[in-house]
Amino acid sequence: MKRWLFWGVVIAILCALPRFLGDYTLYVVSLTYVYTIVAIGLNLTLGYANQVSLCHASFFGIGAYTMALLLAQGWSFWLILPLSGIFGGLFGAVVGFPALKWKDHYLALITIAVNIITFFVMVQESWLTGGPTGVSGISRPSIGSLSFASDFNYYYLLLVFCILAILASIWIVNSKWGRAFRAIGLNELAARGHGISSFNYKLLAFAVGAFFAGVGGGLFAPLLRYIAPDAFTFFISLEFLIMIVIGGMGRIEGPIIGAIIVVMGPEVLRMAEAAYLIVYSLMLILVMLFMREGLVIVLDRLRKAIPARVGSRE
Partner 1 sequence: MPLLETQKMTKDFYKLRAVNQLDFHVEKGEIVAVIGPNGSGKSTFFNCITHIYSATAGRVFYQGRDVTGLPADKIIRQGIGRTFQLIQLFLEMTVFENMLLSVQEHRGSLLSRLFTKDDSEDIERAHEILEFLHISHLKDELAGNLSYGQQKLLDFGMVLMPRPELVLLDEPTSGVEMEMRERLMDHIRELNKQGQTFVVIEHNMDVVMNLCERIVVLDYGEKIAEGRPEEIQTNQRVIDAYFGVEE
Q: Which CB sits closer to partner 1, 176 or 292?
A: 176
Find all residues with CB under 8 Å of 261, minimum gap 6, and list them. Answer: 243, 246, 247, 295
- Contact with partner 1 (CB under 8 A) among 76, 136, 150, 200: 200
Q: How far is CA 152 from the centre of its chain?
A: 22
Reported as type and span, the H/E element at residue 6 is helix 2-16
- 181 belongs to the binding site for partner 1 (CB under 8 A): no
- Distance separating alpha carbons of residues 224 and 221, to the nearest angstrom: 6
Q: Which CB sits closer to partner 1, 25 or 198?
A: 198
Shortest distance (Å) from residue 207 CB to partner 1:
12
- 186 belongs to the binding site for partner 1 (CB under 8 A): yes
- 172 belongs to the binding site for partner 1 (CB under 8 A): yes
Chain residues 202-231 in contact with partner 1, contact rule CB under 8 A = 204
- 177 belongs to the binding site for partner 1 (CB under 8 A): yes
CB contact burial 220-229 (16+ within 10 A = b; e otherwise):
bbbbbebbbb
Secondary structure of residue 266 in the 3-state scheme: helix
C-alpha distances (whole Å) from 67 to each of 26, 31, 298 are 22, 16, 37
Across-strand partners of 135? 227
Shortest distance (Å) from residue 204 CB to partner 1:
8
Q: Which CB sits closer to partner 1, 184 or 213?
A: 184
- Contact with partner 1 (CB under 8 A) among 90, 166, 196, 283: 196
Q: Which CB sits closer to partner 1, 180 or 223?
A: 180
Helix boundaries (H) for 270-295: 276-290
- List residues near partner 1 by CB under 8 A: 172, 175-177, 179-180, 182-183, 186-187, 189-200, 204
